[in-house]
Amino acid sequence: MFLYLVEHDFQMGLARLPASAAGECIITLLFLPGVSAQHQEDVRNSFELAARAADKATGDDYVRWFNTFKTTLLNIHWFSQQDGLEQEVQGLVFDSLDLSGSERDLLIRALNALQQKAENEQALNLFNQSALDEVSQDAVSHLLFIGGGSYHGKFQLAVCSEKNGAVAVSTSYVHFNVDGAQYSSILYADGKVETKTTLSTHVLGLNSELFSKVRDSVKKKLADSGVSEQAPISGL
């Protein structure tokens, strides 16, 4: 498990938690201008700890993964501001993200930086393509939580902002529904299988005052659970 960070002008950045096993989820965290260095560290550490807990506790089941992920965050003084707002996607998933022009430009540059690594290219297709038949078989286990005609993308986009000292993270993931379709049909239907694509967004806030009391404990838990590798990604 690795955590990457890119900073641009010390305010904008990208963190990626890539999947190395079937049950692990990928989180790309984009820091907008105005997020302090301390809060960037708090968010990165919080999300890494929550992702590690979810990876360890669950298998290839997105609902269980996200419940463990969210519960871990709530236990270290995060709270829900908006829970599971869903919208059906028409066209590209990326076009449905609720971002301003400047935020969208930053995210495009961040994703382009990630695409420099071959293992990331297929994951980005979940946001750049609107059909699952664009996903290669080799990448399926790393990209999708699979179950009974319902498929959740493991690749999430999260945007962190700060206003008047208050930190919020909006995280979005893709959910695919294919009624009556077989697993192989989704991948090799040449566009003939009807796929309903939904973008689900959760907004989480951080109680910074309370988190400051557990900050060292979070760092210790990360250290005890394995080496946390945070390294720069060029290209942003």
Read off the CATH number of the domain in which 65 is found.
Answer: 3.40.198
Higher model confidence: residue 220 or residue 111? 220
Number of domains in the chain: 1
Sequence-separated contacts (24+) of 90-93 with Cβ below 8 Å: 91/130, 92/127, 92/128, 92/129, 92/130, 93/126, 93/127, 93/128, 93/129, 93/130, 93/174, 93/197, 93/199
- The CA radius of gyration of the chain, in Å to the nearest whole number, is 17
Is the confidence at residue 133, as pLDDT, over 70? no
Mean pLDDT over 130-151 rounds to 63
**Model confidence band, residue 127 (pLDDT cutoffs 50, 70, 90):** confident
Q: How confident is the model at residue 156 (pLDDT cuts 50, 70, 90)?
A: confident
**pLDDT-wise least confident of 2-16, 97-111, 129-143:** 2-16
Q: Give the model's confidence band at 190: pLDDT under 50 very low, under 70 low, under 90 confident, else very high.
A: low
Answer whether residue 130 shows pLDDT above 60. no
Q: Which domain holds residue 179?
A: 3-232
For the chain, what is the total number of helices (H) and then of strands (E)? Answer: 8, 10
* Among 146, 197, 147, 195, residue whose Cα is nearest residue 172: 197
Which of these, 88, 174, 61, 50, lies nearest to 124 by C-alpha position? 174
Helix (H) or strand (E) holding 88: strand 78-88
pTM of the model: 0.80
Whether residue 85 has pLDDT greater than 80: yes
- State phi, psi for 107 to the nearest 5 degrees: -65, -40
Neighbours of 234 (CB within 10 A): 7
Instruction: Tell me: pLDDT of 182 over 70.
Output: no
- Other beta carbons less than 10 A from residue 39's beta carbon: 20
